[in-house]
Amino acid sequence: MQNYLIEIFGSEIVAYILATVPVLAFIVLFVLFAVWLERKVSAHMQDRLGPMRVGWHGVLQTLADFLKLLQKEDIIATANDKALFNIAPYVVFVTTLATFTMLPFTSIFIGSNADVGIFFVLAFSGAVVAGILMAGWASNNKYSLYGSLRSAAQIVSYEIPTALVVLTMIMLYGTMSLGEITIAQTSHFWNWGIFGGPELGLAKILLVPFMFVAFIILFISTLAESNRTPFDLPESESELVAGFNTEYSGIKFSMFFLSEFANMFLIGSILVIFFFGGYNSPFGYLGNLLGIEWLIPIEQLLWFLGKGMFFVFVDMWLRWTLPRVRVDQLMTICWKYLIPYAFFNLLIVGLILLI
């Protein structure tokens, strides 16, 4: 994508900026949809209808809410640290946006097909902590401070099992580029990561259970990293009012909101890329069948979004079913269970691959 843009504009900077535009547009549209979906999913789980008035079954409700948030007064209390308070939401949002540029949406569109793709994603999703700490500290509010400190502890802790599983997967595919990982899983669904990766043989059969364990660990730890129930301690409503974003209003609040929902899709797509073949179709393409080449990327995009949305739905499902864990239990899950299991898994997968 960038090479094409560089050719057109002749300038790398312009090309890189333009390459993020579709990603940004996607995030905004996705969040508008996901917020509506969350409200509908929660409503139907709870015997309610949810938004019904604005547009068909309330589809425009989030747009209306977004417009309302835009018009709200941007309140900055005198006791706030103004500079940090103003920067924090943008730091959080920009880091989330940056991770999205690494995602291969289709075989022809990937914001940046960097060789260190997955490490870039890990690094930047860890950098969210900086923004959250800024927000908590600058708010000068005890609840915000508690929320942000919890968040820092949580994200940093859960980076470790995430990184261990990612290492496992890098060993399997032999590359860190998300684009190439996806390409490795093409053509048949039994080439997907969850079924032991692309190569046929004894190793593949042995790998399947360990891939499943890796998938579960990655799912739990990324869920915790994105601060969703049952791990939504940083903004646990019943204890900390709203956690680190208590003091925010208007568009700055919506920036936090935007990045939270974007993160949900991000973790879904990371799972999809590692274990469920990324944008690859499990059954082959209609475009190939009909001989229409431009149909293939569209199908790939739909597969990618569909698989990603499935995990977003699972997140919502969990959120509206489970209670919240306590802060010490959260750490216990991470340090006593996930990390040892992830380590063990890494070791076994390494041994299997050596054989």
Partner 1 sequence: MKTEEMILNMGPQHPSTHGVLRLELVLDGEVVHDVKPHIGYLHRCMEKHSEAMTYPQVVPYTDRMDYLASMYNNFGYVGAVEKLMDIKVPERVEYIRVIMGELQRIASHLVALGTFGLDLGAFTPFLYLFRDREKILDLFEHTCGARLLYNYMWVGGLSHDIHPDFVRKTKEFIDYFRPTIVELNNLLTFNKIFIERTANIGVCPAKEAINLGLSGPNLRGSGVKFDLRKDDTYSIYNRFDFEIPVGEGRVGTVGDCWDRYYVRVQEVEQSLRIIEQAIDQIPDGDVKSEIPRRVKPPVGTVYHRVEAPKGELGYFIISDGSLNPARVKVRAPSFVSLSAIGQMAKGYLVADVVAILGSLDIVLGEIDR
* Contact (CB, 8 A) for 69 and 245: no
Build a one-symbol-per-residue string for 225-254: x at contacts with partner 1 by CB under 8 A, - elsewhere.
----xx-x---xxxx-x-------------
Q: Please, which residue, 322 or 347, has the CB nearer to partner 1? A: 322
Q: Quote the least distance from Cβ 158 to partner 1, whole Å.
A: 17
327 binds partner 1 per the rule CB under 8 A: yes
d(CA 219, CA 230): 13
Q: Please, which residue, 67 or 322, has the CB nearer to partner 1? A: 322
201 binds partner 1 per the rule CB under 8 A: no
* Contact (CB, 8 A) for 96 and 209: no
Of 235, 215, 218, nearest to 227 (Cα)? Answer: 235
325 binds partner 1 per the rule CB under 8 A: yes
Residue 103: DSSP 8-state: -
The region of 138-146, 220-228, 261-269, 307-315 touching partner 1 under the rule CB under 8 A is 138-146
Complete DSSP assignment for 16-33: HHHHHHHHHHHHHHHHHH
Q: Quote the least distance from Cβ 264 to partner 1, whole Å.
A: 17
- Grouping H, G, I as helix, E, B as strand and the rest as coil, residue 210 is helix
Q: How far is CA 248 from CA 80, 132, 156, 222, 334, in A?
A: 11, 12, 24, 25, 30
Q: Give the one residue of 292, 326, 347, 351 binding partner 1; rule: CB under 8 A.
A: 326
Q: Quote the least distance from Cβ 321 to partner 1, whole Å.
A: 6
* Contact (CB, 8 A) for 195 and 204: yes
Of 149, 131, 134, 50, nearest to 92 (Cα)? Answer: 131
46 binds partner 1 per the rule CB under 8 A: yes
Q: Quote the least distance from Cβ 191 to partner 1, whole Å.
A: 35
Q: Give the one residue of 202, 323, 354, 355 binding partner 1; rule: CB under 8 A.
A: 323
Q: Give the one residue of 142, 199, 286, 350 binding partner 1; rule: CB under 8 A.
A: 142
Q: Please, which residue, 157 or 236, has the CB nearer to partner 1? A: 236
Q: Give the one residue of 108, 292, 329, 351 binding partner 1; rule: CB under 8 A.
A: 329
Q: Please, which residue, 146 or 276, has the CB nearer to partner 1? A: 146
Q: Quote the least distance from Cβ 319 to partner 1, whole Å.
A: 8
Q: Quote the least distance from Cβ 317 to partner 1, whole Å.
A: 10
The region of 72-80, 171-179, 187-195, 324-332 touching partner 1 under the rule CB under 8 A is 324-332
Q: Give the one residue of 119, 189, 310, 320 binding partner 1; rule: CB under 8 A.
A: 320
Q: How far is CA 302 from CA 34, 105, 272, 281, in A?
A: 16, 9, 13, 9
Q: Give the one residue of 10, 47, 201, 283 binding partner 1; rule: CB under 8 A.
A: 47
Q: How far is CA 192 from CA 22, 181, 211, 221, in A?
A: 27, 10, 10, 21
Taking residue 74's Cβ as centre, other Cβ atoms within 10 Å add up to 11
Of 232, 270, 244, 223, nearest to 91 (Cα)? Answer: 244
Q: Quote the least distance from Cβ 322 to partner 1, whole Å.
A: 6
Q: How far is CA 8 from CA 3, 63, 107, in A?
A: 9, 34, 20
Q: Give the one residue of 286, 292, 322, 351 binding partner 1; rule: CB under 8 A.
A: 322
- The helices-and-strands tally (H runs, E runs) of the chain is 14, 0
Build a one-symbol-per-residue string for 4-43: x at contacts with partner 1 by CB under 8 A, - elsewhere.
--------------------------------------x-
d(CA 309, CA 60): 19
What residue ranges bind partner 1 (CB under 8 A)? Answer: 42, 45-48, 142-143, 146, 229-230, 232, 236-239, 241, 320-329
